[in-house]
Amino acid sequence: MASTSVISRALRVITWPFLAIFNIVIVLIVFPLGLLFGVVYFLLHPSANARMRHKYMPPVQTYLDHFQRLHPDLMSRISNHAKDDTEGWINRELDMWPHSAKGWFLPTVHNDESCPAAIFFAGLEHAGWSRRVVWALLRDQVEEAGLVNETERQAFARVMSRMCDHQVAEHGWAMIRWGMRHGLLSKEQTITLPEQDVEAGRDVVEASTDSLRWILEEGKVVRPPRLIKGHPSILVLMVKLSEEFWTIWKIKPKTESILTSGRSWQLMVFPDELLE
């Protein structure tokens, strides 16, 4: 035992200088280079990281207009909610998604032509869903309905690639997730939720971070999957969505029945343990 302890102390003494040098290299070389790369990448792709340029907007607006015609009831609810949300995130941050958004690095550009579909998709991204997942919902709904021609498809695909493939923040999260998977950072936690008994009389759909098709199903009860993992958590996204569109997506109070919780587009239910 004594010899083992001596060897362990000797190894710590020997490796300490190397660890110190490694930390110094990270702080003085790797971190500044990473920061410089991020700044340069941001400047090379301003549309994806700040504000979409005007020339990219027409194909997106075409898809937004078609989406509104496909889902008039949901768009009506979004529009009514926006009128009531005079001091919320819509008034603070949205002008014409993704044409311009107010922020500390952007001039305020007032635009009274914001459409409900723009508010809807901006809200999903603002709540934390990946931009690629949000744009995929817009693309798939319009193209599967056969509402655009090949020229319009290609124009939208080019803009979507530019907006989704070059996000500095998304690349940063990808690196963090890679580090978690390979043990370089704290491993991401996996949570198993208890079984939920949903009352009879309502159809149930499961929320997801990888797809948003479920969000268009009016009248459904939305519950999280039993296995929760990854960042951001689907639980966080559901709560944020309800906070942003509280008149449309509601969380069922623990003490109320699903059938008496009022009329909303969808009702979100969580296990009682999470509501305590």
Peptide bond into 17 cis (omega under 30): no
Residue with tokens 């190894």: 11
- Could you report the per-residue pLDDT of 231-258, keeping only the tens digit for each? 668 888 999 999 989 889 998 876 666 5
Q: What values do phi and psi take at 46, rounded to 5?
A: -65, -30
- Could you report the per-residue pLDDT of 140-169, keeping only the tens digit for each? 999 999 999 999 999 999 988 888 876 666
Q: Can you list the alpha helix ranges (DSSP code H) found in the chain?
A: 2-25, 31-44, 46-49, 57-70, 72-84, 89-93, 116-127, 131-144, 150-164, 168-181, 234-244, 272-275
* Residue 217: how many other CB atoms lie within 10 Å: 13
- Could you report the per-residue pLDDT of 46-93, keeping only the tens digit for each? 556 666 777 888 898 899 999 999 999 999 999 888 888 766 677 666
**Eight-class DSSP state of 112:** T
- What is the model's pTM? 0.74
